[in-house]
Structure 1
Amino acid sequence: MSSIGKGDDDLSTKIQCDSQTPFKYTNPYCHRPNEYRPETITPAQNLLADHTVLLVNTYKECREAVIELNSQLKEYDVLGIDAEWKITWRKKSGRKPVALLQLASQYGLCILIRLCIIERIPAELDEILANPKILKVGIESRSDGVFLNKDYQMRVWSTLDLRYMAAMCGLRPGGLAAMAKDHLFYELSKNKRVQCSNWELEILSQRQIEYAALDAIIGYKLFLYYSSFQHCITYYTISCFYDKHFSHPKGMIMYEKSLSDQKTEQKQNE
């Protein structure tokens, strides 16, 4: 197991709760739109300095890394999740089995699990992914879970597509890079040559490693930001979208309604 970066620091169970209950993953220190905008956009690569990125190549390394990750989830049970695979035009699906699984926690640990080369899947990893109390957030996270189940028979419950959260907050849902730039003010490179590169290589390049790690890290960063909108995000509203594929028409309707509600509230406060 190699450390790439070092820092200092049935269906999923639905949470039944009154719709006015504040969502528990609040982040009061996060800025809001129109309240603060930096003069420059920060490169997302700067985030790697505050994270430990572990590239996992064996069963033993995977088990050790997942145990460490699980210990961090006792206080904050949310993971940024993403997956990479090799594109192929020889199959109807257009892809080979998932080669890399990325998981990132709030406490600075990001593990990159090379599913294409590890001997077998540790039970500890299965338990985290199948645990409905651990939220897995990202873009197309539901699809990633479906692919993991199809390729490795791994059950993945309580996934949440961040675009639903953005729409609920009155922020335009888009791709990961667009939302990172517009909502967090981070410039996330989405180089197609890296995105569509061979994720089954014996040795991944530094660019591949950074690309993969940042996708998961930005995922949970966006989650923290959207969670600070306590007037929009509640247990009830968010649990409705667990394990759902993102619907663009539905997301845009939510976005427009949230914007309208905010404008109405502003007029009432004037």
Structure 2
Amino acid sequence: MGYPTMTFEGQITYSRTAVEVEKAAMEVLKTLEAKKNEMDKNAVGFDIEWKPTFKRGVPPGKVAVLQICVDTSCQVMHIIHSGIPQSLQLLLESSSILKVGVGIANDAVKFLKDYNVSIKAVEDLSCLANQKLTEHSKNWGLASLTKKLICKQLLKPKKIQCSNWETNYLSKEQLQYAATDAFASWYLYRLVLRSLPDIEKLEEVTVDNQSEEQAVSCNNFQTAEPLAASL
């Protein structure tokens, strides 16, 4: 049975100049400030894209696109053209804004190498899933995690995934792909994984319950024995 497709149907804002990206980053900061009383921790879905290389020995391109998603709004920033404006750097380097995604630590390393900006406060959803799910630890991808947790498929068409992210203007298909990935990360963290108990805590509860059941069983046995002896 095929799973329904997960798509982002919220608002996508595309920015490609320094002024536009600055405005987009300020909008994210403003949204998080307004929501800080609703959430115990400010969190954004985070992902990046870059132009792949198909020649041996040729390194991949710089990070070209940065996606940040909060709730039903996603900012797709074409930073290969804009660079990193002040507000965006502030957002990325903020330790009070959690950035969530799969393989996000590697993304942070690449971003530091490409733009000399240190992305702080990151949460890898693959690692978090291994704390929450009963399976043995595995290297989750965003698509496999989406299927496992919410029974939806996250499409990864190669013609989009491996497209030219350094192009002058992103296509509608590229924008939709980028926004959906960031949204999936935000959704899985905010509405699914965060609320699941850790496996260790769940095992502790199970052990405690088993101990209580055993104690009740022993007590029943002890009260039953004198009654049987008096017959």
Q: TM-score, normalised by structure 1?
A: 0.68
What residue identity is the alignment partner of 1:43? T
Aligned residues: 202
Q: What CA RMSD, in Å, does the superposition of the two structures yield over aligned residues?
A: 2.5
What residue identity is the alignment partner of 2:151? F
Partner of 2:119: 156
What residue identity is the alignment partner of 1:44? M
SS class of match (2:80) = coil
What residue identity is the alignment partner of 1:53? I
Instruction: Confirm whether residue 261 of structure 1 aligns to residue 203 of structure 2.
Output: yes
After superposition, where does 1:36-115 map in structure 2 within 5 Å?
41-45=3-7, 47-48=8-9, 51-74=10-33, 75=36, 76=39, 77-90=42-55, 92=57, 94-106=59-71, 108-115=72-79
Cα distance 1:145–1:134, how it changes in 2: closer, same or farther (>3 A)? same
Which residue of 187, 205, 212 maps to 1:221? Answer: 187
Q: Distance in 2 between matches of 1:67 and 1:151?
A: 22
Partner of 1:181: 147
Q: Is the 2:48–2:67 Cα contact (8 Å) retained in structure 1?
A: yes
Cα distance 1:263–1:92, how it changes in 2: closer, same or farther (>3 A)? farther
**TM superposition shift of 1:105:** 1.0
Q: Is the 1:88–1:94 Cα contact (8 Å) retained in structure 2?
A: yes
More helix as a share of residues: 2
**TM superposition shift of 1:264:** 4.2
SS class of match (2:164) = coil
Q: Is the 1:170–1:258 Cα contact (8 Å) retained in structure 2?
A: no
Partner of 2:175: 209
Partner of 2:162: 196
Cα distance 1:40–1:190, how it changes in 2: closer, same or farther (>3 A)? closer
Q: Distance in 2 between matches of 1:204 and 1:44?
A: 21
The gaps in structure 2 that reach 5 residues or longer are: 214-231
**TM superposition shift of 1:261:** 2.4
SS class of match (2:88) = helix
**Larger-gyration structure (1/2):** 2
**TM superposition shift of 1:263:** 9.5
- Kindly provide the CA deviation profile for residues 171-222 of structure 1, in whole angstroms up to 9, marking residues without a partner as x: 5552101111110222210112211111111232222111111111000111
Of 70-79 and 83-92, more deviation after overlay is shown by: 83-92
Q: Distance in 2 between matches of 1:226 and 1:133?
A: 19
Cα distance 1:259–1:178, how it changes in 2: closer, same or farther (>3 A)? farther
Instruction: Confirm whether residue 116 of structure 1 aligns to residue 80 of structure 2.
Output: yes
Q: Is the 2:103–2:126 Cα contact (8 Å) retained in structure 1?
A: no
**TM superposition shift of 1:125:** 0.5
**TM superposition shift of 1:109:** 1.6
Of 144-153 and 259-268, more deviation after overlay is shown by: 259-268
Q: Distance in 2 between matches of 1:209 and 1:189?
A: 14
Q: Is the 2:160–2:177 Cα contact (8 Å) retained in structure 1?
A: yes
Cα distance 1:110–1:261, how it changes in 2: closer, same or farther (>3 A)? same
Cα distance 1:140–1:190, how it changes in 2: closer, same or farther (>3 A)? same
- Kindly provide the CA deviation profile for residues 82-128 of structure 1, in whole angstroms up to 9, marking residues without a partner as x: 1000111457464110110111113x22111111111x421110011
